[in-house]
Amino acid sequence: MLPREVIRRVRDIQIRTGRQVADVLAGQYESVFKGRGIEFDEVRPYVPGDDVRTIDWNVTARVGEPYVKRYIEDRQLTLMVMADVSASQDFGSNLRSKREATAELSALLAFSANQSDDKIGLTLFHGNIEQYIPARKGGKHSLRVIREVLAHGQVEAKQDAVKTPSRSKRRWLPMFGRRAWWRTGRQATNIAGAMEFLMSVTTRKTICFVISDFLDDDYIKPMQSANRKHDVIAVLVTDPTELEIPAVGLVNLEDAETGEVRQYDTSSSAFRDKVQSHCNQRIDRLRRQFAASGIDFIHIDAGGDVVDPLVKFFHMRQRRMRG
């Protein structure tokens, strides 16, 4: 049974994002993501006014009267949300964590897909593939996608809190994380493995949103390979504290993925400047790497609005399609 808090959050996201889809994203989603094109549907008798170029001469010769080919637009798309649920996604210094921001973005995509009668699927990953929900249509299925992103890890988080009661006194700073071979499960992030899984379970071209803080290594080439077959969009989710640490004196900062704890003096402007410079350089580097790989990039601030970056992304895609 889902915790009552998770159910409340799902309902809140449903109400908020449902209105945003209707008010802000209506039309933009369909104009940006096109179907596979025009597909043959059937042949039917010719009627005055039909384009003579659509006449099927083989059928016409066989039955002795003119028949035309009828085509329809294959509009239906498949979206796959690939959400990072590693430990660093639990970090949140504002009103919501990076995981909750991921859930809200997933909701926007799911409701947009549902409104356009498209399919939506979900893959939750960390060091391994945690959960896979095949793409389907329908409002109930869209809600399930949101629920699973929010609910995943609730039991583990409670167990961690019981095992380490002093954990709440520490400030998490996941930006310094590094992938290590001895870490497994939620203490690691394996984006390359997630891309391999995507290629193994999808045969039809899929629009794939990879939502993560990208605290990992060696994933650009696998994402580039997946982008040759699919439409891969990288979504970086960060927290404000990761970019600008407040001056609050000596604090213990715990890497959310490695568990390593170090003490830092946040009152030092040199330390704060170093952290901010490191994080800004990392974001710029990711943006350049994805651009060079032909992969679109979206940056989401977990402490801010999720809709605006998505709208800007849609506008960018529209301009590129026109130009």
pLDDT at 233 (0 to 100) = 96
Q: Are residues 189 and 305 in the same domain?
A: yes
Residue 318 CA to residue 78 CA, distance in Å, equals: 19
Is the Cβ–Cβ distance between 44 and 70 less than 8 Å?
Answer: yes
pLDDT digits (tens, 9 = 90+) for 6-17: 667 767 777 777
In the predicted model, what is the mean pLDDT of the chain?
80
Can you tell me whether residue 73 is helix, strand or coil?
strand
Q: What is the CATH number of the domain that holds 227?
A: 3.40.50.410
End-to-end CA distance of the chain: 50
Q: Are residues 310 and 275 in the same domain?
A: yes
DSSP code for 116: T
Q: Are residues 116 and 86 in the same domain?
A: yes
pLDDT digits (tens, 9 = 90+) for 140-162: 888 888 888 877 755 454 444 44
pLDDT bracket for residue 72 (50, 70, 90): low
Q: Are residues 191 and 265 in the same domain?
A: yes
pLDDT at 16 (0 to 100) = 73
pLDDT at 183 (0 to 100) = 45
pLDDT digits (tens, 9 = 90+) for 28-50: 666 566 555 555 667 889 998 88
Residue 69 CA to residue 46 CA, distance in Å, equals: 9
Domain boundary among 52, 74, 96: 74
Residue 207 CA to residue 18 CA, distance in Å, equals: 21
Q: Are residues 66 and 162 in the same domain?
A: no
70, β-bridge pairs: 42
Residue 253 CA to residue 233 CA, distance in Å, equals: 31
Mean pLDDT, residues 231-248 taken together: 88
pLDDT at 97 (0 to 100) = 86
Q: Are residues 13 and 68 in the same domain?
A: no
Residue 147 CA to residue 139 CA, distance in Å, equals: 12
Percentage of residues in the chain with pLDDT exceeding 70? 76
Q: Are residues 68 and 203 in the same domain?
A: no
pLDDT at 161 (0 to 100) = 43
- pLDDT over threshold 80, residue 5: no
Which of 23-27, 205-209, 232-236 is the least confident region?
A: 23-27
pLDDT digits (tens, 9 = 90+) for 158-195: 444 444 434 333 334 444 444 433 344 566 789 999 99
Q: Are residues 53 and 175 in the same domain?
A: no
DSSP code for 256: T
Can you tell me whether residue 44 is helix, strand or coil?
strand
Domain span including residue 51: 38-74
pLDDT at 236 (0 to 100) = 97
Residue 302 CA to residue 84 CA, distance in Å, equals: 14
Can you tell me whether residue 231 is helix, strand or coil?
strand
Q: Are residues 237 and 296 in the same domain?
A: yes
Mean pLDDT, residues 256-283 taken together: 82
pLDDT at 25 (0 to 100) = 64
Domain boundary among 74, 102, 128: 74
**Number of domains making up the chain:** 2
Q: Are residues 65 and 148 in the same domain?
A: no
Q: Are residues 60 and 88 in the same domain?
A: no
pLDDT bracket for residue 255 (50, 70, 90): low
Strands (E) in 149-199, as ranges, are: 171-172
Q: Are residues 9 and 149 in the same domain?
A: yes
Domain boundary among 74, 100, 124: 74
**44 burial type by CB count under 10 A (0-12 exposed, 13-18 middle, 19+ buried):** middle
